[in-house]
Amino acid sequence: MDFSNFVLAASVTTLDDLPQSITQADAIEFRMDLSPDPLAELSNYSLNLPLIATNRVLHEGGRSIENDSRIDILCEAIPFPFVEAIDIEFSSIVSGFGQRAIDTAQEHNVSAIVSTHNFDSTPLLPEIESILTESTKLGDVGKLSVTAKVPSDIINLMVATWNQTRSGNSVATMSMGELGRHSRVIAPLYGSKIGYAPPDLNNATAPGQYSLEVLRHLIGSLS
């Protein structure tokens, strides 16, 4: 997947009966961990939008247990024709489970997003920089999703995003929750390569998300 320009991904829990508003997205993030039969849904998928396959682990906001079968399912998704990227957690690579998904993605010329999700807080700026730098060494995009407690948390995240971009690293950053909600709109201005939004807020996949239609409009109004 080409991340040289900003990609707005529609975050969905199913590929069946997607709404018309999905056409406002550049790609679809398919949360396989939230689907009862993700491989069957991939088999039936026919839209002309590339897919980011994600089988999120439990300790980072998903429903899948960290084990070999979780990675097996993600690896099985990679050869499907519309899958152009996967998302695998940095923690899973460090633990030894996730590297196989990275290797399989490389074999099929599929991009890898290496992600970290913190639902409790935002690290200090040096740690943010370190997480993003190490993540970009392992994959094509380093993704960091954090939770802001004070406004300076968002400022530090944007500073790190800008620094990484100037260094030539591709990163995707966002601050979850109400305080950090606006970061999803302004992050592309600092170089963030991916934004995420559900077509319907009733099916939001992370706290503080805008709907796909609203986020597309807000980002467009700033460009």
Active site residues per annotation: 117, 143
In angstroms, the Cα distances linking 16 to 95, 124, 151 are 33, 40, 39
Q: How many CA atoms within 13 Å lie on the side-chain side of 106?
A: 8
Residue appearing with tokens 């590339």: 50
What does the longest C-alpha to C-alpha distance in the chain come to? 45
* 146 class by beta-carbon count within 10 Å (0-12 exposed, 13-18 middle, 19+ buried): buried
Structural element, H or E, at residue 204? none
DSSP letters for 36-57: SSHHHHHHH---SS-EEEE--B
Q: How far apart are CA 204 and CA 197, in angstroms?
A: 7
Write out the two tokens for 111.
């991009």
**Helix 125-138 and helix 151-166: axis angle, to 10°?**
40
Task: Identify the three-state secondary structure at position 89.
Answer: strand
Structural element, H or E, at residue 131? helix 125-138
